Amino acid sequence: MASRQIIYDFGANNGDDVAYYLLKADLVVAVEANPALANQIRARFADEVANGRLFIENCVLTVDPGSDRVPFYVHKSNHVLSQFPPPEQARAHEFEEIELPSENVVSLIEKYGEPFYIKIDVEHYDQVILEHLFANGVMPPYISAESHSADVLAMLIALGKYEAFKLVDGRSVPVKYKNAQIKTRDGVHTHSFPEHSAGPFGEDIAGPWMTRNNFFRLLSFAGLGWKDIHASRIDQADPAHAPRPHFTVNINF
């Protein structure tokens, strides 16, 4: 019997990725700090919550012991920009500070079970979460995080020991992956990813897996920003798949 597959959606927002994850996993754990957005997910997926396939954690994900209430900063006009770290003073007027319960990321995983895939999209906190996961031996078959800093790739390689990578450009997701063919245990399903969703993961991402050197070259062309770095422990990277124009870049971690 195949092992139980659990997907963790860290930064679930309004749940735009949840429908896809439910196609791919036996259990989905959606973590969203903003109470209004967590309630939207509950309403959208009431049946899945009722039958135990979806759990919603309305809390701030941290690397601290958890259980205490912590400040969270809700953006007043664009909820996707809400964040746990305090905003810069010059932008503080854009946010409303509220107090929410916190949960340690490793404790949360221990609560639900070993992950098959972890999506990390927590504004200005991805690297902290990644480092804490790896320091505690949590290195799932598939993982992704936003590429606002090259440090994300460095951590995936140096701490996570991942060797196969793909890139998903957030802006292109609703066009590139409209009516996408998604592989599930029940066969192939057609799924369209909405605007602002994180898009597919694993083999559902178009193109071959890249080696770390070739992926570093691709990232240097594509640039940082609203792009997710995906890493795999179970897929083989293709050394021949390199971005163009050709030039040599050597990186050592």
pLDDT tens-digit profile of 61-76? Answer: 999 886 689 999 999 9
CA distance 150 to 127: 10
The dihedrals phi and psi of 165, each to the nearest 5 degrees, come to: -140, 150
Which residues lie closer than 8 Å to 27 by C-beta, 6 or more apart?
A: 4, 5, 6, 7, 52, 53, 54, 55, 112, 113
The predicted model scores a pTM of 0.92
Give 6-63+104-232's CATH code, choosing from 2.60.120.10, 3.40.1180.10, 3.10.20.310, 3.40.50.150. 3.40.50.150
CA distance 153 to 212: 9
| Confidence grade of residue 224 (pLDDT, cut at 50, 70, 90) | low
Query: Would you kindly state where each structural domain of the chain is located, as residue ranges?
Result: 6-63+104-232
Residue with token string 């209004």: 36
Is residue 244 very low, low, confident or very high in pLDDT (cuts 50, 70, 90)? Answer: low
| pLDDT tens, residue by residue, 3-39 | 789 999 999 999 999 999 999 999 999 999 999 999 9
* Res 252 pLDDT > 90: no
Q: How far apart are CA 218 and CA 223, in angstroms?
A: 8
Q: Indicate the average pLDDT of the chain.
A: 90
Q: How many CB atoms lie within 10 A of CB 195?
A: 10
- Structure confidence by residue, pLDDT tens digits, 160-186: 999 999 999 988 999 999 999 999 988
**Contacts with 78 (C-beta within 8 Å, 6 or more apart), sequence order:** none
